[in-house]
């Protein structure tokens, strides 16, 4: 995910990677486990890479592929216009999202959480997220060591507790992981 600012009411669901074809379609890397929301919502918005510009995208047409989605954005009709959107993000205002199930969260809720070990040692705050081949990685920044980010796996088997209201995440990580 991007390190660039995102408005508090906006949830990023994916980012525009590159043009596809000559008629303005784009390849989108979705951040959702089920990216169908990108293709079914009528309220999609575009957010510039720098987080300064938002514009409505409305309902998108597209299809899933092995590497993401191919999406046609209304009023983007040429490859050049699509190329100008490279790096932009797709998302929704939070009010347009369905409530997550009891055992689910939105990735957008993780940045800013303070991460602890089961013993109560603070590891820092989630700065942003990265999708890796083995799953989601939390990029955790410790203010005591600003030049060193920790890459921690966000996997169910390591999750001890998650309290969004308190801004707290407890992970029981494999021995030696923090020593790398």
Quick: pLDDT tens for 57-80.
999 999 998 878 999 999 999 999
DSSP lists the bridge partners of residue 15 as: 29, 89
Q: Compute the distance between CA of residue 48 and CA of residue 159 in angstroms, rounded to an integer.
A: 33
User: Phi/psi class of residue 88: alpha, beta or left (left: φ > 0; alpha: ψ in -120 to 50)?
Assistant: beta
Hey, what are 156's tokens? Answer: 């169910």
Beta strands in 37-110 (DSSP E): 44-47, 54-58, 61-65, 68-72, 89-93
Predicted confidence band of residue 103 (pLDDT cuts 50, 70, 90): confident
Q: Which of 117, 112, 125 is nearest to 178 (CA)?
A: 117
Token pair, residue 74, equals 């209304």
pLDDT digits (tens, 9 = 90+) for 13-66: 999 999 999 999 999 988 877 788 899 999 999 999 998 999 999 999 999 988
Tell me which of 41-55, 103-117, 123-137 is least confident: 123-137
Q: Which residues sit opposite 57 in a β-bridge?
A: none
DSSP tag of 11 = E
Euclidean distance between CA atoms 140 and 148, whole angstroms:
9
């169910």: which residue's tokens? 156
What's this model's pTM, rounded to 2 decimal places? 0.74
**pLDDT-based confidence at 2, cuts 50/70/90?**
very low
């Amino acid at each position: 995910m991007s390190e660039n600012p995102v408005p508090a009411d906006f949830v990023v669901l994916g980012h525009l990677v590159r043009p596809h074809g000559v008629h303005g379609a784009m390849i989108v890397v979705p951040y959702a486990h089920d990216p169908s929301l990108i293709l079914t919502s009528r309220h999609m918005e575009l957010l510039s890479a720098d987080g300064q510009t938002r514009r409505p995208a409305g309902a998108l047409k597209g299809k899933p592929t092995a590497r993401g989605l191919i999406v046609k954005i209304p009023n983007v009709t040429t490859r050049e216009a699509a190329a100008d959107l490279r790096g932009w993000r797709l998302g929704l205002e939070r009010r347009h999202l369905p409530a997550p199930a009891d055992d689910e969260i939105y990735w957008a809720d993780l940045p800013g959480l303070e991460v602890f070990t089961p013993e109560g040692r603070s590891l820092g705050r989630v700065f942003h997220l990265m999708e890796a081949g083995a799953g989601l990685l939390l990029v955790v920044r410790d203010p005591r060591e600003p030049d060193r980010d920790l890459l921690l796996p966000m996997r169910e088997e390591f999750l001890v507790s998650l309290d969004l209201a308190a801004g707290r995440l407890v992970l029981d990580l494999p021995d030696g992981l923090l020593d790398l």
